Amino acid sequence: MSLPMRKVTLTVNGKRHDPLDVPEGMMMIDVLHEMLGLTGSRLGCGIGICHACVVIWDKDDKTSEEVQTCITGVEFFDGKRIRTIEGIAETNDRGEVTLSPVQQAFLDKFSFQCGYCTPGFVNAATVLLERLKRSPVAKAEVEATVAAALEAHICRCTGYVRYYQAVRDVILATPGLTRDSA
């Protein structure tokens, strides 16, 4: 086979994958699914609309951002650190899993049904919480902030209400994410 190949180094969920040989032009979602066995980042549309495939890009400046893996080539992630849905919960040495506050809230509130879009919502909400930690938002602005952060994500089962409410409640219950006044 004579496809042009590239070497990329990825750090996924804290694990460094030393140079992977990938064909030029492979999308990140395909590398996650077919090479790394991480299938939680889901293919919904393949053209960057539905956001079921987003991962979290941890930037060097300590900020984080959602990136759609269905339209972003693996080359972009060369040398970068990302978190996928499989790396959001914490697993201790004994293999016990502690869900993140967002995951726990989605579970508590029955936020999802089929769960196909859930990884995208978890990652979007996680990025939002991390942003609010750096720059808190007025309590009165929380609902609008949640809506803006999740608006791009498509859900077909539960009509968004339980996702949005869960994220709002986590934000309001987490010290340091909100301010009392504008």
Partner 1 sequence: MSARRLLRWTAIAVVVVAAALAAFVSARLLSGKTGGPVQVVKASPDAVARGKYLAEAADCAACHTAPGGASYAGGLGMASGFGTIYATNITPDPDNGIGRWTSDDFWQALHDGVRRDGRQLYPAMPYTSYRGMTRADSDAIYAYLMQLRPMKVANRITELEFPYNIRLGMLGWNLLFLTDDLPATSTGSSAAWQRGRYLVDVLGHCGECHTPRGPLGEMELSRSLKGFALGRVAAPDITPAGLAARGWAPASLGTYLSRGIAGPNSAFADMHRVVVLSTRNLTADDIAAMTTYLLGDKPPAPAAETVGEGNQAGRTSYVALCAGCHGLDGKGIPNTIVGLRNNSTLRLADPRNLIVATLDGIGPQNFPHRMSLPGMPGFADKLTDEQAAALVNYLRAAWGGQKPDVRPSNVQALR
Partner 2 sequence: MSGLSRRRLLRTSLLGGIAVYVVPLGSRAYAALVDDRLLTAPAVDNGSLKYRVDGRAKVTGGKVFARDIRARDMPHWPQQQAHALALRVTMADRVYAGFDLSMLGADLRPDRVVTAADLARDGFAFPDFYGTDMLLPEGKTPAYLGQAVALLIFHDFARFRFAKDKLQFNDAVIRYGAVTGPLQRDPWGAGRFVRVGGKTPADGDVFSSTRQAPLYISTYDKHRPAWPKPSRDGDLGEQAMFYAQAIDEELTRPPADWLVVTRDYATQSADTAALEPDNANGWYDAARQELHLVVPTQSPQEVAEGAAGMLANSRLGLKRLFLHPCFTVGYGSKDHSPLPYYGLIAAAYGDGRPVRLAYDRFEHFQAGLKRHQFSMRYRIGVDRKTGLMQAFQADIVSNGGGRANCSDALTMVAATSAASIYYFPKTDVAATAMSSRALDCGSARGYGALETLAATEIMADEVAGELGLDPIELRLRNVLKTGMKNAQGAVPVGQQRAETVLQKAAAHVLWTGRVARKQAYNAANPGRYYGVGFGCIQRRFGDGAQCSLAKVELSADGLITLAHTGTEIGTGTSSGQAVACARWLGRPADVLEMAATDWPELPVETSGNPHAMAQEEQDRLAKNPRWVPAFASASSASNSAYYFTHATQAAARVVFLHGLLPAAVAIWGREVKPEAARWRDGALTAEGFEPLPLARLASDAHARGLVTGATVHVFNRWQWAEAEFEIDGARVRLPVDALSLRRGAAKDWRVLDRRAVFLPPTRNNNAMVGYNTCVGTLVEIAVEASSGKVLVLNHHTILECGNMLVPELVSGQMQGCLASGIGLALHEEMPLYEDGPGNGTWNFNRYYLPRGGDVAVWQQTAEVLPPLSDSEPPKGMAEVVMIPIMAGIVNGIAHAIGHRFRSLPVTPERILKVLG
Is residue 34 part of the contact set for partner 1 (CB under 8 A)? no
Is the CB of 22 or the CB of 177 nearer to partner 1? 22
Residues that bind partner 2 (CB under 8 A): 1-3, 23, 25-26, 30, 33-34, 37-47, 49-50, 52, 84-86, 88-89, 97, 99, 103, 106-119, 122, 143, 147, 150-164
Gyration radius of the chain over CA positions:
17
User: Other C-beta atoms within 10 Å of 71: how many?
Assistant: 15
Q: Identify whether the C-beta of residue 50 lies closer than 8 Å to the C-beta of residue 154.
A: yes
Stretch that binds partner 1, among 68-76, 82-90, 121-129, 163-171 (CB under 8 A): 68-76
- Residues 14 to 33 in contact with partner 1, rule: CB under 8 A: 24-25, 27
Is the CB of 6 or the CB of 168 nearer to partner 1? 6
For β-strands 64-68 and 15-23, DSSP reports them as: unpaired
Contacts of 121 by beta carbon, 8 Å cutoff, 6+ apart: 106, 111, 112, 150, 153, 155, 163
Residues 145 and 175: their CA atoms lie apart, in Å, by: 17
Closest approach of partner 1 to the CB of residue 131, in Å = 13
For β-strands 81-83 and 54-58, DSSP reports them as: antiparallel
Is the CB of 140 or the CB of 176 nearer to partner 2? 140
Stretch that binds partner 1, among 70-78, 94-102, 113-121, 139-147 (CB under 8 A): 70-78
Count the alpha carbons within 13 Å of 56 in the hemisphere toward its beta carbon. Answer: 26
Is residue 68 part of the contact set for partner 1 (CB under 8 A)? yes
Query: Which residues lie near partner 1 (CB under 8 A)?
Result: 24-25, 27, 47-49, 59, 65, 68, 70-76, 78
